[in-house]
Amino acid sequence: MSRLVASVPGATFADGSAADVELWLSDEPVDEESVFVATMVVTDATGRYAVAYSPRRREWSIPGGWREPGESVLECALREVWEETGLRLEPGAVRVFGHEVYTPRSRHGLWPEGGGSMQVFRAMLPVAGPELVASEPDAVDPRWVSAEEFEALAGSRFWWPLVAAAMAEGD
């Protein structure tokens, strides 16, 4: 199953760069070679979401970040969740639920030349809200928030329609 949720022309980023972005709800992973960033929606047993604040991007978001050399896409997502929340997740507890495709509009920006994809994963914890602790300065103040609080914090971001689509499908 793969469904285009939204096309966002000219999404802007903290470094002043811009890209056209397609948001896809999909249970199929994209080609690993195209993925430069991985992120993960993590919920606890009560339905709350793990989020952290990014001082660089000046926004609240789900855990995620850039792939390191030699790292698989899933390894990247698991590492980022651990660094930004302190949660150690098992690979078997994680599944793909979407991706974003970036086509740069500007020559500068953090993405690879020509653009690429961000793979989005999903994990549902069987317990209620374990303590969250960030170990990296690029994500601070991790916390558990309700769906309503999450939307209040991030609902205006270009990527929000993908998270909202997953929520609507009870994902």
* Residue 61 belongs to domain with CATH number: 3.90.79.10
Q: Give the Cα separation of 72 and 38 in Å (integer).
A: 10
Query: 118 lies in a domain?
Result: yes
Segment 58-73, tens digit of pLDDT: 899 999 999 999 999 9
Residue 171 has pLDDT above 60, yes or no: no
What b/e string do you get for 35-44 counting C-beta neighbours within 10 Å, with b at 16 or more? bbbbbbbbbb
Residue 96 has pLDDT above 80, yes or no: yes
The structural domain count of the chain equals 1
Query: 169 lies in a domain?
Result: no
Query: 53 lies in a domain?
Result: yes
Alpha-carbon Rg of the chain, whole angstroms? 15
Residue 170's pLDDT band (boundaries 50, 70, 90)? low
Query: 171 lies in a domain?
Result: no
Q: Give the residue-averaged pLDDT of 24-53.
A: 96
Beta-carbon contacts of 164 under 8 Å, excluding residues fewer than 6 positions away, are: 151, 155
Q: Give the Cα separation of 163 and 107 in Å (integer).
A: 28
Query: 168 lies in a domain?
Result: no
Query: 86 lies in a domain?
Result: yes
Confirm whether pTM is higher than 0.85. Answer: yes
What pLDDT is attached to residue 56? 86
Domain with 57 in it: 2-162
What pLDDT is attached to residue 107? 74
Query: 170 lies in a domain?
Result: no
Query: 40 lies in a domain?
Result: yes
